Copies of this chain bind each other. A is one copy, B any other.
């Protein structure tokens, strides 16, 4: 039997420690191919490149046959892989491991998760992994056995049509991790503060900064609760943004 084909991408760039770790795990489960951004693409959400061109270049970070850096976004990487590069349909798409959390509302800003959602749109089981640790020295190995379990179960059982997984890992040692919790996305938001500075010519410019606010810290069925209580959170994630419960109300107002 042919080994599963596993496509790996991320948003931190093709040589980041997180994707090196994820590729090393993926190799245990099948043949691995990588197309990932040639530079950091954090916060790119579901952006695609339509106003400029895309380039790809062969690389040798992962010691595999199909391995390219891409000038585009994480979603571009998935589209390029699926439609141009992969020799056959992938059995699994993995994205990450991201350096930093993609829980709750972060999912819509996240290039890592947008790549996984794009995978689900392509009808391929897909998982985005993120470690809640922004440090360049972050230790991705602590949750290794849990990641292997999630990958193995997804390969064996697939995922519901159009659904991918948003996996976030708390910054804890292996023996402190309490296990895996399947949850929903917490209702949360960022309160932005723009850091205003002056360039050497006296003109203002801004850095986007902000403070994360969880509006429901007590809700034990959310990803934020799971992470705060020592669990790896797994949120099944999809791309229908319709607010179905509001349809009837709006029909009365507008039709």
Contact = CB atoms under 8 A, between A and B. Distances in A.
Interface string A217-255: 000000000000000001111111111111101110111
A163 B47 contact: no
A208 interface: yes
Q: How many copies of this kind of chain does the complex include? A: 2
Given A48-B43, A50-B42, A108-B46, A238 B234 contact: no
A156 B244 CA distance: 22
A62 interface: no
Given A108-B241, A117-B241, 7 more contacts: A46-B108, A48-B109, A48-B208, A55-B203, A153-B254, A162-B187, A183-B247
Contact of A206 (B55, B82, B162, B236): B55
Nearest to A180: B254
A43 B53 contact: no
B246 A208 contact: no
B234 A250 contact: yes
Interface in A110-141: 114, 117, 121-122
B149 A254 contact: yes
Interface of A: 40, 42-51, 53-56, 72-73, 75-76, 79-80, 82-84, 105, 107-109, 114, 117, 121-122, 149-150, 153, 157, 159-160, 162-163, 165-166, 179-185, 187, 189, 191-194, 196-197, 203-208, 234-247, 249-251, 253-255
Contact of A114 (B45, B48, B205): B45
What are the 10 closest A-B residue pairs judged by CB atoms, nearest first?
Answer: A45-B46, A236-B243, A236-B246, A45-B45, A238-B243, A47-B47, A184-B242, A43-B50, A53-B205, A54-B206
A247 B206 contact: no
A107 B241 CA distance: 8
Contacts of A194: 54, 79-80, 83-84
Contacts of A193: 83
A44 B44 CA distance: 8
